[in-house]
Structure 1
Amino acid sequence: MSDSHDFSTRAIHVGQEFDPSTGSVIPPIYQTSTFVQDGIGGFRGGYEYARSANPTRSSLETLLADLEGGAHGFSFASGLAAEDTLLRAVLKPGDHIVMGNDVYGGTHRLIDRTFTSWGIELDTVEMMNLDAVRAAVTPKTRVLWVETPSNPLMKISDIAALVEIGHAAGAIVVVDNTFASPYLQNPLAFGADAVSHSTTKYLGGHSDVLGGGLVIADDELAEKVRFLQFAVGAVSGPMDAWLTVRGIKTLALRMEKHSSNAQAIAETLVAHPAVERVYYPGLADHPGHDLAARQMRGFGGMLSLQLAGGPAAARTFAESTSLFQLAESLGGVESLIGYPTEMTHASVRGTALAVPENLVRLSVGIEGVDDLTADLLEGLARL
Structure 2
Amino acid sequence: MSDRPDFQPSTLVIHSNRSYESQSNSILFPIHQTATYIHESVGVTKGYGYSRGANPTVNALEQSIAAIEGSNSALCFRSGMAAISTLCLAMLRAGDHVLLSEVIYGGTTRLFEQVLGNFGIDYTFVDTADLPAVAAAIRPQTRLIFAETPANPTLRLSDVKGLADIAHAHENLKLAVDNTFLTPLIQNCLALGADISMLSTTKYIDGHNATIGGSLATHDEKLVERLRLVRKSIGTIQAPFDAWLTIQGVKTLPARLAMHCAHAGEIALWLEQHPRVAHVNYPGLDSFPQKALAVKQQSAFGGMLSFELNATTAESLLFMKALKLCTCAESLGSVETLITNPATASHCDLTPELRARLGVSDRLIRLSVGLESPKDLIADFENAFEAIFGN
User: So what's the TM-score if we normalise by structure 2?
Assistant: 0.95
- Which residue identity lines up with residue 86 of structure 1 in the other structure? L
- 8 Å Cα contact 1:17-1:25 kept in structure 2: no
Q: Which amino acid counterpart does residue 378 of structure 2 have in structure 1?
A: T
Deviating runs (4+, > 6 A) in structure 1? Answer: none
CA distance in structure 1 between the aligned counterparts of 2:20 and 2:163, rounded to whole angstroms: 41
Q: 2 CA distance for matches of 1:253 and 1:21?
A: 31
Aligned residue in 2 for 1:370: 375
CA distance in 1, matches of 2:272, 2:355: 24
Does residue 223 (structure 1) correspond to residue 228 (structure 2)? The answer is no
SS in 2 for 1:56: helix
Question: Displacement, 1:71?
Answer: 2.4
Q: Which deviates the most, 307-316 or 290-299?
A: 307-316
For residues 243 and 342 of structure 2, what CA distance do their matches in structure 1 show? 28
Shift of residue 210 of structure 1? Answer: 0.7
Give the superposition deviation at 1:340: 0.5
| Root mean square deviation, CA, Å | 1.2
Matches of residues 225-374 of structure 1 in structure 2 within 5 Å? 225-350=227-352, 352-353=354-355, 355-374=360-379
Which residues of structure 1 form unaligned runs of 5+?
A: none
Structure 1 residues 286, 224: closer, same or farther in 2, change over 3 A? same
- Matched-pair contact (CA < 8 Å) for 1:279–1:305: yes
The aligned length equals: 382
User: Partner residue of 1:42?
Assistant: 44
Pairs within 5 Å for 1:54-65: 54-65=55-66
- Between 299-308 and 130-139, report the one with greater CA deviation: 130-139
3-state SS of the aligned residue for 1:163? Answer: helix
**C-alpha separation in 1, matches of 2:273 and 2:320:** 19
Moved more, 79-88 or 17-26: 17-26
1:194 to 193, 196, 201: 196
Corresponding residue of 1:9: 11
Deviations 1:13-70 (A, max 9, x none): 23433322222111111111111111111102x0111111111000011111111112
Match of 2:385 in 1: 380
Checking the alignment, whether the CA contact within 8 Å between 1:79 and 1:198 is kept in structure 2 is yes
Distance 1:309 1:353, change over 3 A: closer
Which whole-Å CA distance do the structure 1 matches of 2:146 and 2:156 have between them?
A: 14
Moved more, 214-223 or 199-208: 214-223
Cα separation, 2, equivalents of 1:17 and 1:89: 28
Give 1:351 deviation, angstroms: 5.8
Question: Could you say which residue in structure 2 is the equivalent of 1:83?
Answer: 84
- 2:216 matched residue in structure 1: 214
Opposite residue 31 of structure 2, the aligned amino acid is I
% identical equivalent positions: 41
- TM-superposed deviation, 1:310: 3.0
Aligned partner of residue 182 in structure 1, secondary structure: coil
Alignment partner, residue 118 of structure 1:
119
Shift of 1:214: 0.6
Q: Distance in 2 between matches of 1:132 and 1:88?
A: 26
Structure 2 gap ranges (5+): none
* Alpha-carbon distance between aligned partners in 2 of 1:351 and 1:77, rounded to the nearest angstrom: 33
Amino acid at match of 2:123: L
Do 1:15 and 1:60's aligned partners in 2 also have CA atoms closer than 8 Å? no
Q: How does 1:163-178 map to 2 (within 5 A)?
A: 163-170=164-171, 171-178=173-180
Counterpart of 2:213, as a letter, is: G
Partner deviation per Cα, 1:178-224 (whole Å, 9 max, x = no partner): 00012111100011010111100000000011111111111121111
2:53 is aligned to 52
Cα distance in 2 for partners of 1:306, 1:353 equals: 14
Residues of 1 paired with 2:207 and 2:87: CA distance?
24
Q: Tell me the CA shift for residue 313 of structure 1.
A: 2.5
Residue identity opposite 1:41 in structure 2 = G
Between 1:24-33 and 1:81-90, the stretch displaced more is 24-33
Segment of structure 1 superposing worse, 131-140 or 252-261:
131-140
Counterpart residue identity of residue 125, structure 2: T
- Cα shift at 1:353: 4.7
Aligned to 1:68: 69
Q: Which amino acid aligns with 2:366?
A: R
Establish whether residue 130 from structure 1 lines up as the match of residue 135 from structure 2: no
Say whether the 8 Å CA contact 1:175–1:195 is kept in structure 2.
Answer: yes
Say if 1:262 and 1:364, in contact at 8 Å, map to a contact too: yes
Distance 1:181 1:39 in 2: 42
Offset at residue 358 of structure 1 (A)? 1.2
Question: Please, which moves more after superposition, 349-358 or 5-14?
Answer: 349-358
* C-alpha contact 2:19 2:60 (8 A) present in aligned 1: no
Moved more, 151-160 or 128-137: 128-137
Q: Is the 8 A contact 1:92 1:120 kept in 2?
A: yes
Aligned to 1:184: 186
